[in-house]
Amino acid sequence: MTDDFVRILDGNTFVVSDSRGDIEASPTDPTGLFAYDTRFLSSWVLTVDGNRLTALSTDDLQYYESRFFLVPGTGTVYVDAKLSVIRQRVVGEGFRERLTILNHDDKPVDLNVRISAASDFADLFEVKDALEKKGKYYTRAESDRLLLGYERQTFHRETEITTSEPARITEHGLTFAVHVEPHAEWSTDLRVTPAVLWPDGRRTVLSSRSGRKPEAMDKDLHAWLAAAPKLECDRDQLKLTYRRSLVDLAALRFSPLIAARHSLPAAGLPWFMTMFGRDSIFTSLQALPFVPDLAATTLKVLGRWQGTRVDDFRDEDPGRILHEMRYGELSAFEERPHTPYYGTADATPLYVVLLDEYERWTGDRTLVRALELEARLALEWIDRYADLMGNGYISYRRRNEKTGLENQCWKDSWDSISYHDGRLPGFPRATAELQGYAYDAKLRGARLARLAWNDPAYADRLEAQAADLKRRFNHDFWVEDGKYYALALDADGAQVDALASNIGHLLWSGIVDKSRAKALAAHLVGPRLFSGWGVRTLAEGEGRYNPIGYHVGTVWPFDNSFVAWGLRRYGFKEEAARVAAGILDAAEFFQGRLPEAFGGYHRSVTRYPVQYPTACSPQAWSTGAPLLLLRTMLGLEPLGEHLVVDPALPAGIGRLELLDIPGRWGRIDAFGRGRVKVG
């Protein structure tokens, strides 16, 4: 997506248009109005007297609202400055658009104003992969509305377009005969509403958060910002990044059908505006010191959808936490397995990690007790269903060979897991960070078992298993020549010996033997992994290293935030500050909104971070990265009923204050000064 597009969003409803506000989607690009993974509007073009308009300026007023200032005529022809046109658009239940025409002349004017509209009802997967439709379209022009519809058997989706001012409505759009007096204006309110039609005649309007009207959104955003800690800092750019993160996190919230009034973050615009197990958990972890409620909702909703059966098509097992939920046509007709799809090997142990971390911050034992069954089932999944090789490690191999995911770890592209020489291992694969998550989950599960489940025997068992896992892991994964842990074990139990950012996650999980942590820290900020902006997904010098390869050389802000946390966990404050400084510097080049990933080129080569071509933005766990980096820089760590503050800030930051940090202590302030030279 180029940056000429204007995007507004609210949870999983979003509109992407050009800078004039027009939508002219091709089958393969993600422009249009989307709700619940379906495109409800693929064409929406405004003309005045048959001419397209020219954008003078576009204002992103809020994440859910934009305003387009236009004049008739296109760039190369005469621009009639006697008229201006304003389109103000708010996303909510579909979107509303107020179209206003101002006559600056001292003579009245008569205009033919037209909006053409159409929808291809593409499933977002079809847009991504350019697939053909199997159902039938219809359009119905009524006296007061235009209906665009799509039916395939009982699957029925419809877009309703209405206007407050009278229009001549045809199957192709709305035409207004507009008369504007001198120095006067004309306007109409247009509404585009996406709906599901049920066979019994009922209709459900699709909105991100049920029952909420656009008017309430402004209030809601203010309340969200007011509840978060305040950041004071010498560096204005950091304040901007912080605010951007909070606002984008608010924008990405949605209620996935069953969360009542609660909401959790969708993963990212435009491809991943839905519930992801892994992304929701990582984002909730990042945001815990700031907006702890996200974690509670994530735990509840993912718990409700926890797997209950063995379903090969969905890669579901009992106790497994879902990977991805989709609501579009391909999922409905089981051409894709996402209702939901369970093919992830990390979300399940991470679920237990989040539950424990949530309790450490909030002291909410009620939720820990309420989710005891889910947590136990998750821990059981690790031993009973995830040990595909019978060697005591989590590994993965998809059972859905057609549409399932090959790589079920966070680096889920096809070539992400490779040997040093570039070969790809067979399956199953036991990637390193999965073992770290399992170790951490067992220890945290043990803590919860003693604290809230009254089962010390279970806690003892989990701790013994964790200790055994750590011992075996440090033996089997350690690459003695290179002084790091292998990326994975292959199906023969041999090391997949590439050096990758995964070693940072191992520090975060605590599975690393203390004596080896120093070598890992040196790698993470060393020349092969560290680009100057951040830690690369794969080290320079590896066979598949490519600075713009999705998981084989780019820098992921989310990844780096957990690497920094891992470095802090083992006491490497300065190294953690270096990583934080690089990522936060990069954020400034993106106006505070970190993309999913950027190029792994060295900082001295490009001088600015090169965005990965099809990266998602905003993306929840990139949005969460600055939050977690603030936590690691300030050294925030709950200890009993208290919050420990142990700052190690990069020198460029100056003074930093984070005020009113919520938690089991009530509200607490943290202060720090930039002293760490990051060079």
Partner 1 sequence: MTDPTAEFFQRLSTRGYEPMLRDAKATVRFDIKDRKRVERWSLHIDEGNLRVSKNSAGADTVVTAERTVFDGLASGEVNAMSAFLRGELIVEGDPELLVLIQRLFPAPPRKQDRQPVPAGGGRSS
HSE-CB for 86 with a 13 A CA cutoff: 11
CB of 215 to partner 1, least distance (A): 25
154 binds partner 1 (CB under 8 A): yes
Q: Which residue has the tokens 């059981």?
A: 380
> With the C-alpha atoms ordered 431, 504, 554, 344, is the resulting torsion angle positive or negative?
positive
Using CB under 8 A as the binding rule, whether residue 327 contacts partner 1 is answered as yes
**Number of residues in contact with partner 1, rule: CB under 8 A?**
49
DSSP state of 676: E
- DSSP for residue 652: G
Stretch that binds partner 1, among 163-171, 425-433, 456-464, 657-665 (CB under 8 A): 425-433
Q: Which of 171, 185, 234, 312 binds partner 1 (CB under 8 A)?
A: 312
Query: Which stretches of 547-654 are assigned E, i.e. beta strand?
Result: 637-639, 642-644, 649-650
Cα dihedral sign for 584, 585, 588, 594? negative
- Sole binder of partner 1 in the list 390, 514, 604, 607 (CB under 8 A): 390
Among 313, 453, 478, 589, the residue binding partner 1 under the rule CB under 8 A is: 313
For residue 543, the minimal CB distance to partner 1 (Å) is: 12
134 is an interface residue for partner 1 by CB under 8 A: no
What are the structure tokens assigned to 261, written together?
A: 């009034």
Interface residues for partner 1 in 51-90 (CB under 8 A)?
none
**Given the complex with partner 1, which of 219 and 309 has the nearer CB atom?**
309
Q: How far apart are CA 20 and CA 509, in angstroms?
A: 48
Residue among 36 and 69 whose Cβ is closer to partner 1: 36
CB of 155 to partner 1, least distance (A): 5
The strand pairing partners of 253, in sequence order, are: 265
- What SS3 state is found at 118? strand
Burial class from Cβ neighbours inside 10 Å (0-12, 13-18, 19+) for residue 214 reads middle
Nearest to partner 1 of 326, 523 (CB atom)? 326
Task: Give CA angle at 20 (587, 119), nearest 5°.
Answer: 100
Q: What whole-number distance in Å separates Cα of residue 39 and Cα of residue 403? A: 22
Nearer to partner 1, 68 or 327 (CB): 327
Site for partner 1 in 236-295 (CB under 8 A): 257-258, 260
In whole angstroms, the minimum distance from the beta carbon of 587 to partner 1 comes to: 37
User: Within positions 8 to 37, which residues make up the interface with partner 1, using CB under 8 A?
Assistant: none
Is 397 an interacting residue with respect to partner 1 (CB under 8 A)? yes
Identity of the residue, 20 or 157, whose beta carbon is nearer to partner 1 in the bound complex = 157
- The smaller minimum CB distance to partner 1, of residues 242 and 396, is found at 396
Nearer to partner 1, 420 or 631 (CB): 420
**Under the criterion CB under 8 A, does residue 533 sit at the interface with partner 1?**
no
SS3 at position 562? helix
- Under the binding rule (CB under 8 A), the answer on residue 331 touching partner 1 is yes
Are 545 and 553 in contact by the 8 Å Cβ rule? The answer is yes
Residue 388 engages partner 1 in binding (rule: CB under 8 A): yes
Supply φ then ψ for residue 560, to 5 degrees.
-65, -35
One-letter amino acid at 583 equals I
Beta bridge partners of 169: 174
| Interface with partner 1 (CB under 8 A), residue from 112, 391, 454, 614 | 391
Torsion sign over Cα 519, 522, 528, 529: positive
- Smaller CB separation from partner 1, 397 or 523: 397
Structure tokens at 55: 């954008």
Distances from the Cα of 542 to the Cαs of 276, 419, 525, 529, 547, in angstroms?
Answer: 30, 8, 17, 10, 11
DSSP secondary structure letters along 618-634:
SBHHHHSHHHHHHHHHH
Q: Site residues for partner 1, window 333-372 (CB under 8 A)?
A: 333-334, 339-340, 370
148 makes contact with partner 1 (CB under 8 A):
no
Residue with structure tokens 């957990």?
562
Which CB sits closer to partner 1, 87 or 157? 157
User: Nearest 5°: CA angle at 350, between 619 and 210?
Assistant: 50
In the complex, minimum distance from the CB of residue 488 to partner 1, in angstroms, rounded to a whole number: 12
Based on the shown chain and the rule CB under 8 A, indicate whether residue 380 belongs to the binding site for partner 1: no
What is d(CA 65, CA 97) in angstroms, rounded to the nearest whole number?
Answer: 10
- Choose between 202 and 475: whose C-beta lies nearer to partner 1: 202
Nearest approach, Cβ of residue 200 and partner 1 (Å): 6
Least CB distance from residue 391 to partner 1, whole Å? 7
Among the candidate windows 431-439, 490-498, 507-515, 520-528, which touches partner 1 by CB under 8 A?
490-498
Smallest separation (angstroms) from partner 1 to the CB of 117: 24
User: How does DSSP classify residue 212?
Assistant: -
Cα R_g (the chain), whole angstroms: 26
The nearest distance, CB 616 to partner 1, in angstroms, is 24
Binding of residue 310 to partner 1 (CB under 8 A): yes
Q: Is 389 in the site for partner 1 (CB under 8 A)?
A: yes
Q: Please select the residue that binds partner 1; options are 74, 112, 153, 591, rule is CB under 8 A.
A: 153
Rounded least distance, CB 9 to partner 1, Å: 22
The residue range among 57-65, 163-171, 275-283, 426-434 that interacts with partner 1, by the rule CB under 8 A, is 426-434
Q: Are 358 and 292 in contact (CB under 8 A)?
A: yes
Q: Which is nearer to partner 1, 54 or 255 (CB)?
A: 255
Min separation Cβ 331 and partner 1, Å? 6
Among 35, 332, 517, 529, binds partner 1 (CB under 8 A): 332
Rounded distance between C-alpha atoms, residue 559 and residue 515, angstroms: 24
427 lies in the site for partner 1, by CB under 8 A: yes
Question: CA geometry: angle at 209 spanning 203 and 214, to 5°?
Answer: 90
Q: How far is the CB of 384 from partner 1 (least distance, A)?
A: 13
Give residue 166's region: left, alpha or beta (phi > 0; psi -120 to 50).
beta
Q: Is 423 in the site for partner 1 (CB under 8 A)?
A: yes
- Report if residue 137 touches partner 1, rule: CB under 8 A: no
Cα(149)–Cα(196) distance, integer angstroms: 10
The distance of closest approach from Cβ of residue 157 to partner 1 in the complex, given in angstroms and rounded to an integer, is 10
HEC sequence for 494-517? CEECCCECHHHHHHHHCCCCHHHH
| Stretch 552-611 residues interacting with partner 1 (CB under 8 A) | none
**Binding characters for partner 1, 184-213, by CB under 8 A (x = yes):** ------------xxxxx-x-----------
In SS3 terms, 311-338 reads as ECCCCECCCCCCCECCCCHHHHCCCCCC
Joined together, the tokens standing for residue 302 give 């993912």
Stretch that binds partner 1, among 9-17, 241-249, 311-319, 508-516 (CB under 8 A): 311-319
154 burial type by CB count under 10 A (0-12 exposed, 13-18 middle, 19+ buried) = exposed
- Interface residues toward partner 1, by CB under 8 A: 153-156, 196-200, 202, 257-258, 260, 304-305, 308-314, 327-328, 331-334, 339-340, 370, 373, 388-391, 397, 399-401, 423-428, 490-492
